[in-house]
Chain A
Amino acid sequence: MSISRFMHRRKKDQDLAEEIESHLAHEQDQNAARGLHPQEAHRQARLRFGNPRATRERVWRYRSFPMVEDGWRDLRFALRSLARTPGFTSIAILVIAVGIGVNTAVFSVVNAVLLKPLTYPDPQSLVQVVTTSDRGPLPLASIPEYNIFQQQSAVFQQVAAYDWGGAGVNLTGGDHPEQVLGMHVTSGYFPLFGAPVVAGRTFTAAEDSPNGGHVAVLSYGLWKRRFGGNGEIVGSTIQVDGQPWLVVGIIGRDFVTDTPADLWIPFQFDLTSREMVHNFNVAARLKPGITGAQANAQLALAADQFRRTHGNDALPPHGGFGAVSLQESLIGETRAPLMVLLGAVGFVLLIACANVANLLLARASVRKRELATRAALGAGRGQIIRQLLTESLALSFVGGLLGLAVGFGGVRLLLSVSPGDIPRIGENGSAVGLDYRVLLFTLGISLLTGVLFGLVPAISASRPDLTASLNENSSRSGMGLRHGKIRSLLVVSEIALALVLVTGAALLIRTFLKLEDVNPGFTTHNVLTASMSISGSRFQKTEPVAQLIRDGRERLVAVPGALDAAASDCLPLQGCFGMTFDVLGRPRGETPFTGMAGFFSVSWSYFSTFEIPLLRGRAFTEQDDSAAPGVVIINQAMARKYWSNGDPLMDRIQIGPGGGPAFSEGPRQIVGVVGDTRDAGVNRDPFPTMYIPIAQMLDAQTALNAKVAPLWWIVRSRVDPHPLRAGIEAALRDASGGMPVAHVRTMAEVEVRNTARQRFNMLLLSIFGAAGLLMAAIGVYGVMSYSVQQRTQELGVRLALGAQASNLRNMVIGQGMILAGAGVVLGIGGAFWLTRFLASFLFAVKAWDPVTFIVTPLLLNAVALLAVWIPAQRATRVDPMTALRLE
């Protein structure tokens, strides 16, 4: 109805015009009949009717959609007007696009990591079951704990355990044996996470019990890549470590796990086990209607029951069990850095807004006459504001569209330098992309920025002094007092915001430099490492592993260029296991054991290969094997902490009290003290650590280790080890009977990965700081050069009256630097308050680091000086005659 009305309105309007003519003619006839003179009759008819055009407009409006129409007209006008000033328009759009682009980029990561729900069915009811202690919740559990968790059927609908496949699995058979990521899971894992089965089935409860046989479920990726997507594979066997494993099913492509698994293997837990080692995760689905608090209450009861069954020492003194949202648990500590980044890009956007607002104010003063003319022709104030806002919204939307492209490119760039350990972003950030949240966000901030930078200029421009503006000489119709004030205020806030950003960036740069300077405690130069999975049945006992290491080392040191070689269950910087210990003959006090320390099992040449200095006693030798008495080497941090006024070499320690059967070994004599290495990362202070010879491990311990960690090979060479890679791999294949290696990297590469997150934070904040600084500089430059342009006449008069050019220059510089100075002072205050949020990202640098707080303001002032220098120089080149003739 209204559409057809809309479509025919032109014809109808013609009709109406004729109709009104006819009406007027009849009225005129009537008037004439009353005896009026024809001319008077005509006049009175018109008078009585009023303005025919107004009537037509009324009908026209009723036949149209006024909001849309007016908006469309305003938009066309805005686009025309923006197109007339391409310089201004392109700069404004560029600034907005950068501002919105960085926000879109960071938000799309925030969206993927923090906001998107987990891809599993009914993700709200999924929880991570954790063990708690004084040091907070840990998402890890042991078999007895898993056993008690799965009995909590009052609160949990389903419970499943899973690990991260760290030990690796060797796919043999065929010409290219390959180490892949085999994730251990309990049979409840697939139903819990709603994994789609594309062929076959998942594990049965029988297959997930001890002696359940060799079975595997393949991932879609591995099935396609290694088995050519052949459906016949289900129900047949594949070769794993030289033994046949039955493939029971294939999981669909859409199933996302945080560590991408190549295949799944059943844990086959012995639920009667008293193995207290925490080496897997447990997740559960809450029963419908059960809240997290109810689950936690039930788990507190379970913890009491656990202490009754396994002894009070089975849990740490104030420890217990708990349930946290699975999503929260996955996000972990990533939230804070992302929030800081989001805050930083918010600052960039604010600076961009201030900049564009400034440009608009300048533009509005140039257009004063145009606006005054429109007001004089009857445009209401609201209409002028609407028109100007339409212009700024047009700018912000075009900028936003461009920003979306910038953001999309930016996020790819961002992820290509990303630390790789951001949870939930998928492989190479594939989970980060455009979705409706990102689009809504970009649309929202486009709208917001359009209003933010458009409103003040629009309101101030809509209050023109008509007569003054229209009469004014156009070249002088300049910056009124109010405009000047607003613009100065904007510039001051731009500088303040930029200072905060640059301060943050400077703190992170200092942090990174400090990290580069840290001595990790071992040589990273010319050291190559590789992992070998020993999860196969061949290596369930210690002796074959010790033999493998002996054979391997012999062949590795024979590789031309190799200097030394060793093997271990962990690498420095990558984190390792922690284990309890008791010092024999020392009273325990409150705790069930003396302490907790890092725990490495290493081959005898580990310290010489990594060039870790021996401080006291002796290193391990080839003779420290299962036949010899048990020995242990500790690091300096452990010696300092536990033997502050004693001699560790006189003491014996018991490793793993309360750790279960795998640690039912005898005490070990401390034979040496070595230098500290940074095991948990460059930015973590070394903590107490103990090393034992791999050859002296109990068989049960070896079997346990093989399930969670691979064997790491370490080779130090005379030259860059990369060219040795083929020789090293061949030597290891030879020594192990054809076993593949993976994760072949130099320790220098491991170190780079280790500081990747700091580098990432530093890089991003530096980019944002530089962008903010550049925009602030443009802002200062813009205001000052505009002010010089407006004051050409005044400057001319001053020159004519004998002022020196240098006086004028200094005057302009002085005025510019007052603005800069005000911004810097404000910014220092803001930075002082805000950098506390960076405290957790800093290393060996205080949040109020004096160097940063002195250098950054100086830098800001220097940039500002540069930005005012050009307009100041221009001020000295004013020709008095030209300036005065302008009048």
Chain B
Amino acid sequence: MGIQIDALKCNACMACELACGYHRDDAFALLSSCIVPYRGREKKNYVGVILKEEDSLVAARPEGVEINRIGEEQDPEKEADASAKPMLLRESCDLCDEVDGGPLCITFCPTGAISMA
């Protein structure tokens, strides 16, 4: 069971980031969110979604999903993602297990880009 992301359906609206941030902070804030649309390539319109899980960092790229196991060596050629608080320092996705209605990111995504496997 886990969060599945179809990056091609994502329009980078950030509703998921705000919803998860609310789940973490009981307020509207973006820094604690586990799920973050990647916005660091604005002129190239290259957009995907990053998700922090317990053991891995999921990069849902338009060309396919990439799962990076935390603790394993990464490709030194690859540039790090741009975000205010590095993803590895954030809490891991808990699938909103105590939330009625399930994961808030799924509830608030307007395009159905996020689903539960």
Q: A and B bound?
A: no
